[in-house]
Structure formats: structure tokens, C-alpha cells
């Protein structure tokens, strides 16, 4: 999920409508291969002001050009992100700034989906509307402090992996992974917009963890 969104962002595109219904995941095309497709770009936008709109392959370039020609507008003209920005600051934003804000909102929305996947047994996430308006006081209270922190705080307790997820019938190794993923989301995704990292940055942190997690120091 992170990798595919990072490719979209690489093309200078912002989605603005990432949720459970705008991502298709399939593992039936080839064995041991996962296909991820983002859909519903109705609120999407693009930016070409400070760097050219390029792609990784001719096919992607063709599809991107097709999308921009079919009505996708510039991010400055179609920002649909629930973030409060002072009017004086707004007047100073460049077109690229708008895209950065929108892409960071995409990262936040994807982070919420990842959180629901990691903590699928925690009904507070499924039923809470605290994340529907972005990173705000309600989200900090109900999700960041009320849910994430309760697991991370227990991480340092004795017999930590068994006490953190008593209702989850998986190995301690899986529980350890979930905690590490939660910590990465907490540090780099569920933070104010100006401090939020890119998809690629978050992905790199996960890759580093996966690479070295079995090392004994």
C-alpha cells in the first residue's frame, strides 16, 4: 500500500480521497504476488510547477497524461484537505506547497487504514469518527492517545507481547511486529502535517525494521 501510493506521489499527483473503497488489492493474478490499485481519483489533482510531470515507464507516462487531459486539475485549485491554514500563510503558498499538503493528507488517510488492519480487533477504531476530519484534537484524544499509546505504553511492561494483545491468538513475533508498525505510524504519520513524513520515508523505516529485526545486538 505504501509503495503504490509513493509511486502515485512520485508522479506529482495527490489523491485526496483514500479510504476503504478506493483501494483494490488482489493476489490472484500471480502466485505470491500482490497487486494494488488505487481508484476513484475524482478529487485528485496534479502539480507541474516546480518539476516536470514524469513517470517511471512509458505506460505510466501515457496513463498520467491521459488522466490530466481528462479533467484532473491543479492542486491549488482543488485542495480538499481538512487542515486549517492561516489566510496570510495560504497567500504565500506555492503550487508545490499545495501538492505537499495534499500528499501528506494522503499519507494520513492511508495510515488510518493501516491502523485498522493492524488493530482489527479494536472496535474503537472501526466505530470512531475521530479520524474523519484529519489530524485534529479528537483524533489525538481518541486514536493517538486513546488507542495507539495504550499499546505502546504496555510494550515496556514485563511479558510485554502477551499482555499487549491478550485477545489476539498469534505468536509473540507477530505481536512484536504490530507494535513496531504502530510505533512507526505514531512517530511519522500521526503527527501534524508539517512534521508528517512521506510514504517512501515511512516505507524505508519499515524495510529497515524488517531487515534487521532478527539480529541479536
Bigger pLDDT: 131 vs 165: 165
User: Residue 168's pLDDT band (boundaries 50, 70, 90)?
Assistant: confident
User: Residue 202's pLDDT band (boundaries 50, 70, 90)?
Assistant: very high
Bigger pLDDT: 116 vs 125: 116
User: Residue 158's pLDDT band (boundaries 50, 70, 90)?
Assistant: low
Contact 202/189 with Cβ under 8 angstroms?
Answer: yes
User: Residue 195's pLDDT band (boundaries 50, 70, 90)?
Assistant: very high
- Cα 49 to Cα 38: distance, rounded to the nearest angstrom: 24
Q: How confident is the model over 158-165, as a mean pLDDT?
A: 68
Could you tell me the pTM of the whole model? 0.82
Amino acid at each position: 500500500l505504501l509503495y503504490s501510493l509513493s509511486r502515485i506521489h512520485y508522479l506529482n499527483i495527490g489523491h485526496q480521497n483514500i479510504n476503504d473503497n478506493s483501494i483494490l488489492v488482489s493476489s490472484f493474478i500471480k502466485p505470491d504476488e500482490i497487486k494494488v490499485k488505487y481508484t476513484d481519483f475524482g478529487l485528485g489533482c496534479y502539480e507541474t510547477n516546480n518539476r516536470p510531470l514524469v513517470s517511471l515507464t512509458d505506460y505510466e507516462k501515457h496513463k498520467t497524461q491521459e488522466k490530466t487531459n481528462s479533467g484532473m486539475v491543479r492542486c491549488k485549485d482543488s485542495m480538499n484537505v481538512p487542515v486549517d491554514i492561516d489566510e496570510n500563510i495560504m497567500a504565500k503558498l506555492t503550487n508545490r506547497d499545495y501538492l505537499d499538503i495534499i500528499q501528506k493528507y494522503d499519507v494520513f488517510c492511508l495510515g488510518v487504514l493501516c491502523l485498522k488492519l493492524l488493530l482489527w480487533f479494536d472496535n474503537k477504531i472501526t466505530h470512531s469518527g475521530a479520524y474523519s476530519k484529519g489530524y485534529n484534537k479528537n483524533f489525538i484524544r481518541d486514536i493517538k492517545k486513546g488507542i495507539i499509546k495504550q499499546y505502546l505504553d504496555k510494550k515496556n511492561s514485563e511479558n510485554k507481547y502477551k499482555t499487549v494483545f491478550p485477545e489476539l491468538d498469534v505468536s509473540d513475533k507477530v505481536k512484536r511486529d504490530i507494535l513496531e508498525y504502530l510505533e512507526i505510524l505514531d512517530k511519522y504519520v500521526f503527527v501534524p502535517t508539517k512534521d508528517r513524513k512521506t510514504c517512501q520515508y515511512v516505507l524505508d523505516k519499515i524495510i529497515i525494521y524488517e531487515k534487521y529485526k532478527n539480529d541479536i545486538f
